[in-house]
Amino acid sequence: MSLTILVTGGAGFVGSHTVLELLNAGHEVICVDNLCNAFGASNSKLPESLKRVEELAGKSVLFYDVDIRNRDGMRGVFKKHKIDCVAHFAALKAVGESCRIPLQYYQNNITGTSILLEVMEENNVFNFVYSSSATVYGEPQKLPLDENHHTGNCTNPYGKSKYFTEEILKDLCQSDARWTVISLRYFNPVGAHKSGRIGEDPNGEPNNLMPYISQVAVGRRLCLKVFGDNYDTPDGTGVRDYIHIVDLAEGHVSAIQKLVSGELNGFVVYNLGTGRGYSVLEVVDAFSKASGKDIKFEIVDRRPGDVAISYADVSLAAKVLGWTAKRGLKEMCEDTWNWQRSNPNGFAGSN
């Protein structure tokens, strides 16, 4: 069944890859993005990431340069299109940065989502896929982390913004049976599309491990900062569940298919990860092998808000959504390197 799907934050890393997979699955996609986390519009009046998505898919994307906090702007988009479902990616997303500017995170991630939901309700659109995060679990009380793990004991404002929004969505679904919400708790998205045409292109200094490593490998940065080597882990560095961005995008396609099937109701949650954790130094070693480059790094103090180990129990997504991650760390590193060496300065510096 072909759907018309509104994708917020569609020009960003997760958004653009998901837009491509939705187009490949036969859906019509409308994107809104304020471009705060994406390279700006090209001569085609599309952000460069979405211009390349169109090339890869051989299909067009409708794009609106609108901030989700702009109520009238969002109303205008809904008035122009009959939308079946919203996939909501628009958010500020860096753990460390959220500790420095928490008000901006709460304003964008919580207030922005609330305005979006109100505009959806005005237009009788009640199918919603939410881009959540494993950070809602806080310090793990058990591993692997399953969907029944306690949430809310978050260690940083970014995680709190995702947790608070999930609570809003729960209350909304309890108050009105018309709503069906799937919250997808991501672990750590990395990698790039196999073509090397789209990938992660952070503005300024990367806040996440893989793009920082790849920028060191390509010569844009001198050295990787490793935040702490005294965690209770095999090599002392933090352990995370990394998931290939295309696996993550395919997870959204599966979630949307389940959402509109009518089999679900209310608020439901699924983890999207691989179920396997890798330490920072394991990722550095794997990337060095994939790129053939020596990755210089230095150990610095721990970063506020980080936990030692986090990895997912992904059995529920497999059971209900019929989705499992297929790509391993080797492929994540190879695809990231293919993207980075083809686009050494990101979207801004290549054709």
C-alpha 274 chain-centroid distance: 15
Distance between start and end Cα atoms, the chain: 35
φ/ψ (deg, to 5) at 224: -85, 135
Return left, alpha or beta for 191; rule: phi > 0 is left, psi -120 to 50 is alpha, else beta: left
Residue 162 structure tokens:
């995702």
What single DSSP character describes residue 110?
A: I
- Cα distances (Å, whole numbers) of residue 252 to 56, 236, 245: 19, 33, 11
For residues 44 and 51, the answer to whether their CB atoms sit within 8 Å is: yes
Nearest to 135 by CA among 104, 107, 158: 158
CA geometry: angle 302, 108, 189, nearest 5 deg: 50
Question: ∠ CA(26), CA(78), CA(110), 5° rounding?
Answer: 100
* Residue among 106, 158, 186, 311 flagged as catalytic: 158
Among candidate residues 83, 38, 86, the one with its CA nearest the CA of residue 65? 38
User: Tokens 């996440």 identify what position?
Assistant: 208
What is 26-72 written as a DSSP string? T-EEEEE---TTS--B-TTSSBHHHHHHHHHHTS--EEE---TT-HH
Dist. CA 257–CA 2, nearest whole Å: 10
Q: Is 158 a catalytic residue?
A: yes
Q: Catalogue the active-site residues.
A: 158
